[in-house]
Amino acid sequence: MNDPDVVPGGPAEPDLRERLTLVRGRIAQAAAFADRDPGEITTIVVTKFHPVSLIEELHALGVNDVGENRHQEAQAKAEALSALGLTWHFVGQVQGKKARQVRAYAQVIHSVDRPSLVDALASDESTVDCFVQVNLTDDPARGGVAPPDLDSLLERVQATAGLRLLGLMAVAPLGAEPRRAFARVRELGEQARRVAPEAKFLSMGMSQDYPDAISEGATHLRIGTAITGNRPVLG
């Protein structure tokens, strides 16, 4: 089968609507194959590096959940598009000193990964949904809490005002078998629910691996290029 994700640019490249339709179809197919209700799967379109105009086009095509990974860019876009009522998902690493600003525009933060960030996100005024990110590699620079420290971080989120825990987030490590990585996240999710029964969602699956993520129980997919096309190269 011809995979439009890997078709190089040019006149034959499918447009945004076609890519979105194709990805939605593949999600429905993977859900059916896994005997899951596609209605329980939220697709977040990751729009980082793309202009505001692309997000407006996505909105016109029925997309309500968008993801960004860089604070300044996300803040500017959320402000420019505030009239659209989109749900903004922050999926990148959050600097402690920017935490309050991120929670001002993001409805969901997918990358809570350390106690100091939990503390920086605390609020008595409003509540933000969050995922605790788990690191499946040995490289701390990848972001995410190491699995042995997961339970204590979950307890800290639960004990912090202004944070509602949704579940776990992870990125499949480069070069690893994604299905196996997502199975590990599923297990960690089961473990997490022993301390935090509310942590029932799993944010996992990107352009290259979302069908595998669906097979392992993903509830929130973070899909960029398969829908948006290649990201513009910034000079």
Ligand X SMILES: *Cc1c(COP(=O)(O)O)cnc(C)c1O
Binding-site ranges for ligand X (CB under 6 A):
46, 48, 69, 91-92, 171, 206-208, 222-226
Q: Nearest distance from residue 74's CB to ligand X, in Å?
A: 11
CA distance 64 to 43: 9
Choice between 171 and 199, CB closer to ligand X: 171
Q: Give me the torsion for CA of 10, 11, 16, 17, rounded to 10°.
A: -160
Q: Nearest distance from residue 124's CB to ligand X, in Å?
A: 29
Q: Give the residue at shortest CB distance from ligand X.
A: 224
Q: Nearest distance from residue 142's CB to ligand X, in Å?
A: 10
Which residues face 223 on adjacent strands? 45
Choice between 48 and 156, CB closer to ligand X: 48
Q: Nearest distance from residue 197's CB to ligand X, in Å?
A: 26
Choice between 69 and 215, CB closer to ligand X: 69
Q: Nearest distance from residue 186's CB to ligand X, in Å?
A: 18
Choice between 103 and 222, CB closer to ligand X: 222
Long-range contacts of 144-152 (CB under 8 A, 24+ apart): 144/111, 144/113, 144/169, 144/170, 144/171, 145/113, 145/114, 147/188, 150/188, 150/191, 150/192, 151/191, 151/192, 151/195, 152/115
Q: Any residues with CB less than 8 A from the CB of 226 and at least 6 apart, and which?
A: 5, 19, 22, 23, 207, 208, 210
Q: Which two tokens stand for residue 226?
A: 């398969």
Choice between 165 and 226, CB closer to ligand X: 226
Q: Which two tokens stand for residue 58?
A: 């996505």
Q: Nearest distance from residue 231's CB to ligand X, in Å?
A: 7
Choice between 99 and 210, CB closer to ligand X: 210
Q: Any residues with CB less than 8 A from the CB of 90 and at least 6 apart, and which?
A: 67, 68, 69, 71, 74, 102, 106, 108, 109, 110, 111
Looking at residue 193, its amino acid is R
Q: Which two tokens stand for residue 71?
A: 């604070």
